[in-house]
């Protein structure tokens, strides 16, 4: 039976208008407390179809984090009698003028105590004579930090410790290009961990992040920003680390930023040209490992999560292999991937944390938070570790690039999931806002993520489209080469981009950035 011609056209019109024929575009994720959609749910469509150049969506809800602190203990502090007289010099001192950190850390895992001897060899590269040094002491913000002394040539120095600011007054000015070595001893009564940050202890893990005093960068004054609940606030110079660790118990597995090697009764880890040195200790860890290029990649997970531990290891190996060709060689000799009781993921040099909830919800495929957020944190080894930046004032420089690195991972490794990724990780949240928002400006965490991470990824995708593949990847490689082991600014980013393309990108800058004069 044939339908009347008018009825046929009417039905055809209704069918076409009910279909979404447009291709959804892109957006970004965070590092501290990113909230994502259910990976098993159908993607939520973007409320509008963005243009090729300008993807500036709308707001999404804000979700608050919660935590349950664990009760403190009163276990006596461990002693460092074996290193009380003098600390060995670093076994290998690189020829650069980077700051050298040598630490001997004795961990009482069950008592949640840490005793540390630290030496800092600092070369004055400010161009000015310095009468004092500013050290950053993040553990003092949480309480339980005790500084026993700071010595220069065995003589005590005067200092002031207020919050996370440790001002050390030198006995005589440190002239440009001159070097000074400080020796200090401190103890930490490790606090209970909260879910929005890895530092501290919980029932089956002790995490030490930003746990030692380090010299603040200097740029027209010492650079140390106030903490913000929205995102990271610290800025780091690249430095060289030799970290020696010993526990009062013998059954503790330790994941760190470096590769272990024996050093008498200690285990030594070395890390060169890095921003941070982190470690995670547990009496529960299982480990699976692999090699990608010249890097040892280890996945640390809890019993019962073998499938997930292997899945994130496999994703990391593939990501490192891909990005070594697209960005730069992997900057370190190892990478530790650590399961932790967190809200999200968090990056450090050579070590990343991923929330247990990602392991719990893993669905056996790449279309999961475990893989997507996992490779986001891996990308920070380039965009944070290799190329540093001001995380408080210009957080988009690392976060937008890391979200977009996720997109590249899915495009080249799992192309059938590429559109899924954009919908799941970006379009679902309808991001908007200026990409150059600081950690102090957004009214909510959701608004901060939408602007910096997700709209930032939209901008990088638009930049990629405008430049074309060859120029875009040449730009990323040039950017990584010029600012590797250094710190880049937004000005540097755009200067290198423009040197690698003849395309006009000024309209993209005006569309996405509040400060258009780049």
Q: What is the pLDDT of residues 70-94, one digit of tens each?
A: 233 333 444 444 333 233 333 333 4
Query: Which tokens is 40 given?
Result: 């098993």
**Is the same domain home to 41 and 171?**
no
Among left, alpha and beta (phi > 0; psi -120 to 50; other), residue 127 is left
Task: Order the strands of the 253-256 sheet from edge to edge.
Answer: 200-202, 205-208, 279-282, 253-256
CA nearest to 212, candidates 127, 298, 275: 275
Residue numbers of the domain that contains 421: 22-67+388-512
- Which residue in this structure is represented by tokens 């440790």? 166
Q: For residue 429, what is the DSSP state? A: G
In whole angstroms, what is the distance from residue 498 CA to residue 479 CA?
11
> In CATH, what number is assigned to the domain containing residue 288?
2.60.40.1730
**Is the same domain home to 151 and 282?**
yes
Pairing of strands 279-282, 205-208: antiparallel
Buried b (16+ CB within 10 A) or exposed e, 440-474: ebbeebbbbbbbbbbbbbbbbbbbbbbbeeebbbb
Whole-number Cα distances in Å, 357 to 103, 246, 306, 343, 465: 33, 30, 15, 8, 35
In a domain, 190, yes or no: yes
For the chain, count helices (H), then strands (E). 12, 21
The residue from 302, 329, 356 where one domain ends is 302
Cβ-Cβ contacts under 8 Å for 215 (sequence gap 6 or more): 99, 120, 122, 133, 134, 135, 136, 237
In the predicted model, is pLDDT for residue 22 greater than 60?
no
Question: Mean per-residue pLDDT for 59-72?
Answer: 27
The residue from 302, 329, 362 where one domain ends is 302
Q: What is the pLDDT of residues 338-378, one digit of tens each?
A: 999 999 999 999 999 999 999 999 999 999 999 999 999 99
Please tell me the least confidently modeled range out of 41-55, 145-159, 276-290, 350-364.
41-55
In a domain, 381, yes or no: no
Q: What is the pLDDT of residues 221-257, one digit of tens each?
A: 999 999 999 999 999 999 999 999 999 998 999 999 9
Q: How many CB atoms lie within 10 A of CB 221?
A: 10
Share of the chain above pLDDT 70, in %: 81
Q: Say what the pLDDT of residue 77 is.
A: 40
**Is the same domain home to 270 and 157?**
yes
**Is the same domain home to 106 and 161?**
yes
Look at residue 373 and give its three-state secondary structure. helix
Buried b (16+ CB within 10 A) or exposed e, 180-201: bebbbbbbbbbbbbbbbbbbbb
**Is the same domain home to 28 and 109?**
no
Question: Mean per-residue pLDDT for 392-414?
Answer: 99
pTM score:
0.84
In a domain, 345, yes or no: no
Whole-number Cα distances in Å, 177 to 183, 236, 280: 20, 19, 36
Share of the chain above pLDDT 90, in %: 80
**Is the same domain home to 145 and 248?**
yes
In a domain, 127, yes or no: yes
CA nearest to 346, candidates 472, 231, 212: 231
**Is the same domain home to 136 and 184?**
yes
Number of domains in the chain: 2
């Amino acid at each position: 039976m044939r339908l009347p011609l008018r009825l046929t056209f009417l039905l055809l019109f209704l069918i076409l208008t009910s279909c979404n024929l447009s291709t959804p575009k892109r957006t970004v994720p965070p590092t501290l407390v990113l909230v994502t959609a259910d990976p098993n749910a159908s993607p939520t469509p973007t409320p509008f179809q963005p243009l090729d150049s300008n993807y500036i969506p709308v707001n999404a809800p804000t979700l608050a984090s919660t935590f349950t602190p664990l009760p403190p203990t009163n276990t006596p502090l461990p002693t460092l009698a074996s290193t009380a007289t003098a600390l060995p010099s670093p076994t290998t001192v690189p020829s650069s003028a980077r700051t050298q950190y040598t630490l001997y850390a004795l961990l009482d895992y069950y008592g949640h105590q840490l005793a540390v001897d630290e030496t800092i060899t600092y070369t004055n590269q400010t161009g000015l004579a310095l009468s004092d040094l500013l050290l950053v002491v993040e553990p003092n913000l949480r309480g339980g930090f005790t500084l026993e002394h700071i010595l220069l040539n065995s003589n005590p120095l005067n200092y002031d410790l207020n919050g996370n600011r440790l001002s050390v007054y030198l006995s005589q000015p440190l002239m440009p290009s001159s070097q000074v070595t400080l020796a200090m001893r401190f103890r930490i009564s490790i606090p209970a961990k909260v879910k929005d940050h890895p530092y501290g202890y919980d029932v089956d893990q002790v995490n030490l992040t930003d746990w030692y005093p380090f010299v603040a960068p200097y740029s027209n004054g010492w650079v140390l920003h106030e903490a913000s609940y929205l995102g990271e606030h610290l800025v780091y110079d690249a430095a060289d680390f030799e970290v020696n660790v010993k526990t009062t118990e013998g059954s503790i597995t330790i994941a760190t930023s470096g590769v272990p090697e024996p050093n008498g009764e200690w285990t030594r880890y070395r890390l060169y040209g890095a921003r941070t040195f982190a470690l995670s200790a547990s009496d529960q860890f299982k480990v699976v490992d692999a090699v990608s290029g010249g890097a040892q990649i280890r996945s640390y997970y809890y019993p019962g999560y073998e499938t997930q531990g292997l899945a994130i290891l496999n994703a990391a190996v593939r990501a490192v292999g891909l990005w070594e060709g697209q960005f730069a060689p992997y900057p370190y000799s190892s990478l530790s991937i650590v399961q932790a009781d967190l809200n999200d993921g968090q990056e450090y040099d050579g070590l990343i944390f991923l929330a247990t909830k990602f392991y719990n919800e893993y669905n056996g495929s790449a279309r999961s938070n475990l893989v997507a957020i996992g490779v986001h944190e891996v990308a920070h080894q380039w965009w944070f570790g290799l190329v540093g930046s001001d995380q408080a004032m210009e957080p988009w420089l690392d976060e937008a690039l890391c979200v977009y690195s996720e997109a590249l991972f899915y495009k080249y490794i799992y192309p059938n999931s590429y559109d899924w990724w954009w919908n799941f990780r970006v379009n679902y949240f309808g991001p908007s806002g200026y990409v150059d928002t600081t950690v102090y400006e957004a009214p909510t965490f959701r608004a901060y993520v939408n602007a910096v991470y997700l709209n930032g990824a939209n901008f990088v995708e638009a930049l990629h489209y405008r430049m074309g593949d060859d120029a875009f990847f040449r730009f990323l490689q040039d950017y990584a080469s010029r600012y590797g082991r250094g710190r880049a600014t937004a000005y540097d980013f755009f200067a290198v981009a423009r040197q690698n393309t003849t395309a006009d990108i000024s309209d993209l800058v005006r569309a996405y950035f509040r400060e258009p004069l780049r």
